[in-house]
Structure 1
Amino acid sequence: MSYSHLKPPLTATLTQFFVLATVGLSVLAAEFRVLAQASSPAPNYRPNPGLAPATDSMNVYLLGPGDSIQVSVLGFDEYKGLPPQIILPDGTISIPLVERFVVSGKTVTQVKQELTRRLSEYLVDPTVEVQLTSLRPLTVTVAGEVRRPGPLQLQPIPLGESGSGGDETARSRIIPTLAQAIAAAGGVTKEADVRDIIINRIGVNGISQTMTVNLWNSIQASSSNQDISLRDGDSIFIPKATALSQGDQKLLARSAFGSPTVKVRVVGEVKRPGEIEVSPDSTLSSAIAVAGGPTDKANLTRVRFYRLQANGTVNEKTLNIEKLTEPTQVEDGDVIMIPKGDGYRFLDAIGTVLGPLGAAAAFIRIFQ
């Protein structure tokens, strides 16, 4: 291999470094994995590869420890065999001629520009290419009107699953998005205001930024145009809506931002009474069916239906399941009580009255 293109006296330095970088890569990778496992991150969530990409591109993604980038220099053969560089916990990578180069907190474009400047001190007109090959998990915090508020660790989608091609649109799919964070937090509650979601983040310059995102239009249009890519350390707050119509609540519950299931209590004359989980678009009748269906003693003409309102009051209805003209959609926290038929209640009352007499007669028979 010829090193005539180097600015002397760097041939020995390059050769020595290239050997050390190749031999030590597996050791560095193992060290990072140990450090990553030693930390105790938030609950792990891997987003759905089928979700549409956010509108942000990779130009705004800030590199950090755990990311992997591929560096090549066109026209210089000794850089073709470089393995992907895992960004170490101190935020650096090392390539021939540039040791302990800080890349954490920079974009891929910034790294490319700075490496070009650094290598120009040793090489003649270097053309540097930098490609992001894998991403680290992102840790974000979701608070407010979600089912499971708190810190989350969002796993990126591998590049091979993000679609064909290497353009910015395809690569943007691998970054976890706001919608995926909401899904990982269990979905929004029925009182969430998705028109005014607040995101706090640290910008490229280290200055805290606050932005407001409106996802309501995405729900109505069934698109992801308003969804955005997240950054490590983002803090997301979903406020409570001042007023939502029943139709808006149903639309929100059925959207991708709603909880995948709701919890309903079905008690009384069903075969499996207790708390059940059903899909957000389930009806009262389907919830009863999930609870095993009514028993032979059930009175389906006077089913009691309880729902807690936003103001703290309880709305109670008595429904005739056999004559419902419109399906009643259930919501999280609803309670359904199936009573006994009148004839069975009478028999139970007789049993209650005669029960002590029967017990006394049995006691007397012991001594006969």
Structure 2
Amino acid sequence: MGHLRFNMLQQVTTPLAIAGILTLTPLMARPTMAQMAPITPTTYNFGVNPLADYILGAGDILFVEVVNLPSSVTNQKQFTVNLDGSVVLPLAGRLVVEGLTVPQAEQVILNAYSKVMRFPAVTVSLQTPRPMKILVAGEVSRPGSYIVPFTGVSVSTGAGLGDTMSLSGGLTWPRLSRALTQAGGITQDADIRNIEVRRQLGNGQTAVTKINLWELIQSGDATQDITLRSDDVIVIPKATTVNAAEAVRVASATFSPQVINVQVVGEVLKPGLVQVPANATLTQGIGAAGGFNVQRANTSRITLVRLNRDGTVSRRRIPFSMAAQPSANSNPVLQQGDVIVVERSGLTQFGDAVGNALRPLGALGTLGIIINLLD
């Protein structure tokens, strides 16, 4: 008889009975260690479905569906994670989900409903993720912290799993290339073969992986463009050497700047600040300034002045040829802030020197010198 009364109590849906049931639920239920699947940096897979290891936090919106939950209780199915990391659910009460993955949160919620319902069926999904904060350091135009938006149509696992995960509104999970673009693009000194991504696992440990974006450019290996998680740290190291031909291909990638600014001074038709494509060579820089002033320019020797990222300034005299292919020696790829100096030819220098020497004498003095030279 006592067993029968207990079953009947579980099925009562009056407000008074529900209030009594809620007294059985702790104010703040926390997950046990058994519910936390152990993840270590050595076993973590950066290509995993982003919804499988997403760590919940304040601002996330969850879709929680509980089968057979009385409609008299509530029809609400969307719940926001509060600042204290909890969600408040009908009958189940306040549950802490911050620091859990979506599958772990589903288990915690299922356990809570098992205390107030018979054989509950619970489905939990991430409806709308909180803004994703990413730190980008190293060889990018604007290192710093960024809020990377969710955009697009769907969320692909990016790991060859053959399925696509959708979020509310058809949002796409941000990828590495998007974060680099938002940081102004990589510099031309970036070593894109050894990009490092550091990720907090939610258990006090950090997983690190190396990404080779050259494989994405060279062979179309899309798995290199991994999906990001909030609080990821991206570090782009500096390359020890730069291949000019490769630099042209890298500069055409979406994660490179679209244009750069360079100064062209000296014997060109339109000296000053010019904008050129990010993969522009010295030849294109001179062309953007209108080309040589052919009557005055030394077209075979150009000086390239570059402010390096460590604060030093390099100055190179380049044996220039308009027909030169991209190369570090004769037709280098330009960088943001480069200064191209087109020098005067020897004849122009002599003519300018004579003109400067004769200028103080005035027209009559100049005429007298010319007459003496003719005599």
Assess, with a 3 A threshold, how the Cα gap between structure 1 residues 350 and 228 changes in structure 2: closer, same or farther.
same
Match for residue 339 of structure 2? 335
What is the distance in 2 between the residues matched to 1:284 and 1:260?
17
Q: Report matched runs for 1:191-206 at 5 Å.
A: 191-206=189-204
Give the TM-score taking structure 2 as reference length. 0.70
Deviation of the 1:115 alpha carbon: 0.9
Mapped partners of 2:119, 2:134: distance in 1: 41
Q: Which residue of 2 aligns with 1:104?
A: 98
Sort the Cα spacing of 1:214 and 1:345 in 2 relative to 1 into closer, same or farther, 3 A: closer
Q: Secondary structure at the match of 1:60?
A: coil
- Cross-structure match for 1:174: 172
In the TM superposition, what is the alpha-carbon distance from 1:171 to its structure 2 partner?
A: 3.4
% identical aligned pairs:
33
The aligned counterpart of 2:64 is 71
Displacement of 1:119: 0.7
Structure 2 CA distance, aligned partners of 1:114 and 1:106? 9
Q: 1:144 aligns with which of 138, 149, 154?
A: 138
Matches within 5 A, 1:203-282: 203-282=201-280
Aligned to 1:62: 55
Displacement, 1:133? 1.6
One-letter amino acid of the counterpart of residue 232, structure 1: S
Q: CA deviation at 1:238?
A: 1.8
Q: CA–CA distance in 2 between the matches of 1:144 and 1:251?
A: 20
- Using the TM superposition, name which of 69-78 and 255-264 deviates more: 255-264
Q: Does the 8 Å contact 1:196/1:212 carry over to 2?
A: yes
Q: Give the Cα–Cα distance (whole angstroms) in 2 for the partners of residues 211 and 163 of structure 1.
A: 21
Does structure 2 conserve the Cα–Cα contact (< 8 Å) formed by 1:196 and 1:214? yes
Greater share of residues in helix: 1
1:351/1:262 CA distance change after superposition, 3 Å: same
Preserved contact between residue 133 and residue 145 of structure 2 (Cα < 8 Å):
yes
CA distance in 1, matches of 2:287, 2:256: 23
> In 2 relative to 1, CA 99–352 (structure 1 residues): closer, same or farther, beyond 3 Å?
farther
Structure 1 residues without counterparts, runs of 5 or longer: 17-53, 362-368
Query: Structure 2: how far apart are the matches of 1:293 and 1:5?
Result: 91
Tell me the distance in 2 between the aligned counterparts of 1:299 and 1:155.
49
Taking structure 1 as reference, are residues 11 and 190 closer, same or farther at Cα in structure 2, changes over 3 Å only? same
Q: Helix, strand or coil: the match of 1:225?
A: helix
1:48: which partner in 2? none
**RMSD over aligned Cα atoms:** 3.8
> Helix, strand or coil: the match of 1:248?
helix
Distance in 2 (CA, whole Å) between partners of 1:138 and 1:93 is 20
1:319 pairs with 2:328: no
Bigger Rg over Cα: 2
Partners of 2:214 and 2:48 in 1: CA distance: 16
The equivalent position to 2:122 in structure 1, one of 110, 125, 128, is: 128
* Paired residues, number: 316
- Tell me whether 1:185 sits opposite 2:179 in the alignment: no
| 8 Å CA contact 1:199, 1:236 repeated in 2 | yes
Q: TM-score, normalised by structure 1?
A: 0.71
